[in-house]
Structures are given as C-alpha cells and as structure tokens.
Amino acid sequence: MKVYLGLGSNMGDRAFYLREAISALKGRSIRIMAMSRIYETEPWGGIDQPLFWNQVIEIETILEPLDLLHVCQEIELSLGRERKVHWGSRTIDIDLLIYDNRVSETEELRLPHPYLEERAFVIAPLREIAPELILPSGRSINEVMGDGKVYPLT
C-alpha cells in the first residue's frame, strides 16, 4: 500500500531525529520510496515555540493503518518523544497523512490526516515528491496552500 508520512521535529538536533526516524522505519515491513527535502517552517497552531524541520516521505507497506500508526508511535517514544503540550515542541512527530484511499474517522486514527490541506509544512514537501497527486478530497495538490510560504533548507 502506498502511504505518505509527515515528519516534524523542533527540539534538539532536528536533522538527527528526522534521519533516525526514517532509518527506524526501514525494515519494519516498510520500504522508503521517496523523501522530500527538509523544510524549515514557522510553528503552526498558535503556540510560541522553536522553528520546525519538516519532511514528507512516501512509503510502501503491507502493514494495516493501525499497525503502521503503532510502529510510528514506538519510534517516537524510542526517540524521546514526550507528550506534553498539544501542538507543542517535540523531538519527533510522525503523522500518517494519506494511506492509499482509506478513510478512518476514529479518534485514534483519522485518515486522511485532518489538517492536511491547511498545513503548508505538509503540502509543500508532499507536492515536491508527488506533484501530480490528487488528494482524497478530490482536489489536486497544486490547488491547495499555494500561498504557504515554506522553503527547503537546500
């Protein structure tokens, strides 16, 4: 199944956490198919906190959505992620953005990710690796967040 994951870090060595998270995903029935560049982004959500580094990856996996979520959560924990402030600082956050054409409305797992189209820090890197993507809403990736000002590091 084709899945897009969103990664974010705004604590400590952000490059290290992004790299380690991606390398931890490998081999757990997950293949990395594409990786965006890293984008340095203003915190979204109204909390005053350090700049984020964000990245989106495309993976191929046989894991079911909840199993994949649990793998991501284990990796977050192993990299020192602590749940404190909602939308607050974190060493690493791994979100399931899109899982094939699956829709899920449970509290534990919402697919597609509920804020997908409002977050330039997700849309810009996603557009980089999937420029032809049609989002689950039926809108094309180029129609959404065209005004979001986020830039890759390199």
Ligand X SMILES: Nc1ncnc2c1ncn2[C@@H]1O[C@H](COP(=O)(O)OP(=O)(O)OP(=O)(O)O)[C@@H](O)[C@H]1O
Interaction site with ligand X (CB under 6 A): 69, 83, 86-87, 93, 95-96, 108-111, 113, 115
The answer to whether the Cα torsion of 59, 29, 101, 121 is positive or negative is negative
Choose the catalytic residue: 28, 37, 48, 81: 81
147 is catalytic: no
Distances (CA, A) of 150 to 53, 66, 76, 122: 10, 30, 24, 10
100 is catalytic: no
- Kindly state whether residue 152 participates in binding ligand PH2, applying the rule CB under 6 A: no
Q: Which of 114, 27, 36 is nearest to 71 (CA)?
A: 27
119 is catalytic: no
Among 21, 22, 30, 44, binds ligand PH2 (CB under 6 A): 44
- Other CB atoms within a 10 A radius of the CB of residue 23 amount to 11
- What torsion do the CA atoms of 126, 80, 78, 7 make, to the nearest 10 degrees? 0
Radius of gyration in angstroms for the set of CA atoms belonging to the chain, rounded to a whole number: 14
Among 21, 22, 25, 52, binds ligand PH2 (CB under 6 A): 52
Q: From the list ligand PH2, ligand X, none, which binds 20 (C-beta under 5 to 8 Å, kind-based)?
A: none
95 is catalytic: yes
Residue 44 or 99 with smaller CB distance to ligand PH2: 44
The answer to whether the Cα torsion of 75, 122, 32, 19 is positive or negative is negative
Cβ at position 17, least distance to ligand PH2 in Å: 12
Where along the sequence are the contacts to ligand PH2 (CB under 6 A)?
8, 41-45, 52, 54, 87, 93, 121
Active site residues: 81, 90, 93, 95
